[in-house]
Amino acid sequence: MADNQDLPEATVQNILDQESLKWVFVGGKGGVGKTTCSSIISILLARVRSSVLIISTDPAHNLSDAFQQRFTKTPTLVNGFNNLYAMEVDPTVENEDVAGPEGMDNLFSELANAIPGIDEAMSFAEMLKLVQTMDYSCIVFDTAPTGHTLRLLQFPATLEKGLAKMVSLKNKFGGLLSQMTRLFGVDDEFGEDALLGRLESMKEVIEQVNMQFKDPDLTTFVCVCIPEFLSLYETERLVQELTKFEIDTHNIIINQVIFDDEDFQSKLLKARMRMQQKYLDQFYMLYDDFYITKLPLLPEEVTGVEALKAFSSHFLSPYQPSITRGTVEELERKVSTLKQHLSVAEAELEKLLKGN
């Protein structure tokens, strides 16, 4: 799309302006900067909301690294804020998180092995139960890479299957299931009815939240990517799946963009910039009705609250290259750069000649 430069550059201001938003998901392919983007979005939301919680559901937790502060599965106030909290939850079920009477955990373990994905679904339900008891104005999810995120969206269906399987077993085997529960050391009051009740309550929690997820006034999904083929492919797959699940998405953040504001001497950088432009054109063509925010590639990592705050300016106003091509200023800057390179080369040559 040759004329994408004529399109207005988008920011994430629309997310900050949508006061009804309760859930903000940030996701995409691994290694594109999801944690940095979700951290900055939570910081920006904390400026306009009474209280914000950011949750990492990625097994490889990076929130602690991004904020340079240790977080656990309990909401912790982020240093330097009085209304921003963070927590890291393990998407796999833990015994203490689904703790029940002695022997009941064994049944849950067997059930988890019998139905793929139900362990994550149960853990997610427990986490949502906890979150719903808290009074946060907005909750930001720093999600795992795309595949894990899509599984998260399938959790209601997964629990539905688990519940159906348990009901089927109960109807089919009747008293035999009761005998099995006693073999596991579970009393009658904690038998199959307790298991069914547990699954039913989890399913109700997830279904209730899932209804909110499908409400565009309450939920949105921010796709993070980089201008490369695989990331473009993953983003398209993610957008299609979100549409299938009826989850609103209208923001795309393209990270690590090389802008034409330097006098590149490196052929590699020039080639990368041309390659990126090809995929940027495709993003604009595919998602002409999305808010597309481009972020510059930096020479250093963005870690720590101050660095995150500094980088957040690019989320609110489009990045402006420091020079404009075809101007006197650009030519003067180019001449100055060449003089500097020449001066360094002359100094190195003189040093070599003296050495000989």
Euclidean distance between CA atoms 261 and 226, whole angstroms:
19
Euclidean distance between CA atoms 32 and 19, whole angstroms:
28
Indicate the DSSP class of residue 4.
Answer: G
Q: Picking from 51-65, 157-171, 178-192, 287-301, which range would have the lowest pLDDT averaged per residue?
A: 178-192
Name residues whose C-beta falls within 8 Å of residue 293's C-beta, 6 or more positions apart in sequence.
9, 10, 11, 12, 251, 252, 253, 254, 314, 315, 318
**Predicted local distance difference test score (pLDDT) of residue 130:** 72
What's CA 37's distance to the chain center, in Å?
Answer: 8
**Predicted local distance difference test score (pLDDT) of residue 352:** 85
**Predicted local distance difference test score (pLDDT) of residue 3:** 52
**Which of helix, strand or coil describes residue 74?**
coil
The CA–CA distances, whole Å, from 38 to 213, 253, 315 equal 18, 11, 11
The answer on pLDDT for 355 being more than 90 is no
Task: Find the catalytic residue in 58, 119, 142, 248.
Answer: 58
**Which of helix, strand or coil describes residue 166?**
helix
Q: Which residues are registered as beta bridge partners of 27?
A: 223
H-helix or E-strand containing 237?
helix 229-244
**Predicted local distance difference test score (pLDDT) of residue 299:** 87
Quick one: tokens of 116? 């793929």
- Each residue's pLDDT tens digit, 45-92: 999 999 999 998 777 778 999 999 999 888 999 999 999 999 988 755
Binding-site residues for ATP, in ranges, read 29-36, 228, 255
The CA–CA distances, whole Å, from 117 to 92, 168, 171, 189, 191 equal 9, 19, 23, 27, 23
Q: What torsion do the CA atoms of 74, 148, 38, 49 make, to the nearest 10 degrees? A: -60
> To which residue do tokens 């900055």 refer?
40
**Predicted local distance difference test score (pLDDT) of residue 65:** 92
Binding-site residues, in ranges, read 29-36, 228, 255
Annotated catalytic residue 187: no
* Residue 122 identity: M
13 against 157, higher pLDDT: 13
**Predicted local distance difference test score (pLDDT) of residue 94:** 47
Half-sphere exposure of 184 (CA within 13 A, CB side): 24
- Each residue's pLDDT tens digit, 86-102: 998 875 544 444 444 44
What's CA 46's distance to the chain center, in Å?
Answer: 17
